[in-house]
Structure formats: C-alpha cells, structure tokens
Amino acid sequence: MNKIAASSVAVLAAFALAGCFSLFPKADPAQLYRIGTSVEASAGAAGTVPLALAPLDFNEAAAGDRILTATGGEVAYIAASRWASPAKTMFHDALEQAFERNARVVTLVTRREVRASTLMLDVDVNAFEARYESGQGAAPTAVVSMDVRLVRYPERTVVGRRVIEAKRPAAENRVGAIVSAFDAATNDALVQLVQWTDQTAG
C-alpha cells in the first residue's frame, strides 16, 4: 500500500469562499480510488412517495478528484493518489443508489418526472475529509457531514431539517485504509439520510 505524502496548502481566511489551493503543480495520479462500494440493498418493499433530488451542493475543496485531509487549521491533499472520478460525482451516485436500494417510503424520480413530486430533498455536503485529529503520524478519521432539508412544493414549506455526520477511523495511516474509511463513513451517512427521509416524508 502507498504511504501518505501530502502536498501542503495555505489556509486562507476566506477558505469557505475561495476553496483550497495547492502550492505545488499537479502530478499524474499514481493510484486511483473510489467510494460507494459499501452501499448494499436491504430487504423490504420499494417506496411509493415520489421524491425529487435538488442539485447536490458539495464542499468546494473536496469536490474534485483529490483526496482532502485536515490537520488542525491546515488542509492538504494526499499526493500521488486521486479519486477515480470527482468526489462530488461519486457521492451523488452513491446517494442515488442508497435511495434506490433501501428507501421504503420514498422513491427518487428522474428530472423528467420532477413535476410528479411534491417533495424535494436538498443535500449540502459541507465536510468530506480525512482528519488527523492526533497528528499526521497517527491514522486519520474520515468525516462526512451534510446539512439536509426536505421541502414540500409548491408551498416551499420545510418539512424537516437535519445535520447528518458520520465518522470512521482508518485502520492505519495508509491510503488504502483511508479510502476504506471514507467508503464506510459515506455509507453510514447515506443510511442515516435514507432512514430520516423515509421517516420525515411518511
């Protein structure tokens, strides 16, 4: 497995608006990774309440194909390792799969079917990172955090709102273990999201 090598980035006062910038030129990825492999189907009947999904909001610094880490007030990307596709895209695909396979009350509709739904789910992923809470020498914790809202149309009434967070510690400070932690944390967060949406819409 690859050892961690992170290219440092400056922490800007306007980080929330400007995103995260590398101080070094980009290099060709030595290894590609993906998430969403933990999404599994559970037994039960498919949902019948149509649900539209709003365009996914995703933390700008983590949305691309670079693996974001955080150590205290500093952020960095893991060098020589990339997501197989942008993290935002993989997360969106995993989210749709989670609803298709596990929702019991709601069922996602396509863009063409949006008018058939009176409910829309708004998801804002504000954290998708590996946090070195005990220093860079220790194994980090994958953190997935999102703000979610369920809105009823045409009234635009907020039916429910919740902050969902999932954390999974990596088994060791290596890229493969960190990616596995990301995958598990993503699955945990999406399980919570589907269950909450079912309960709130029902």
Q: What is the pLDDT of residues 128-157, one digit of tens each?
A: 999 999 988 899 999 999 999 999 998 999
Tell which CATH architecture fits domain 51-201.
Answer: 3-Layer(aba) Sandwich (3.40)
CB atoms within 10 A of CB 102: 21
143: amino acid identity, one letter: V
**Cα–Cα distance for residue pair 68/87, rounded to 1 Å:** 10
Task: Pick out the chain residues at pLDDT < 70.
Answer: 1-30, 38-46, 114
Q: How much is the pLDDT for 115?
A: 72
27: exposed, middle or buried (Cβ count in 10 Å: 0-12, 13-18, 19+): exposed
Closest CA to 98 of 167, 40, 149: 40
10: exposed, middle or buried (Cβ count in 10 Å: 0-12, 13-18, 19+): exposed
**Cα–Cα distance for residue pair 178/82, rounded to 1 Å:** 12
**Cα–Cα distance for residue pair 132/197, rounded to 1 Å:** 31
Give Cα 128 distance to the centre of its chain: 6
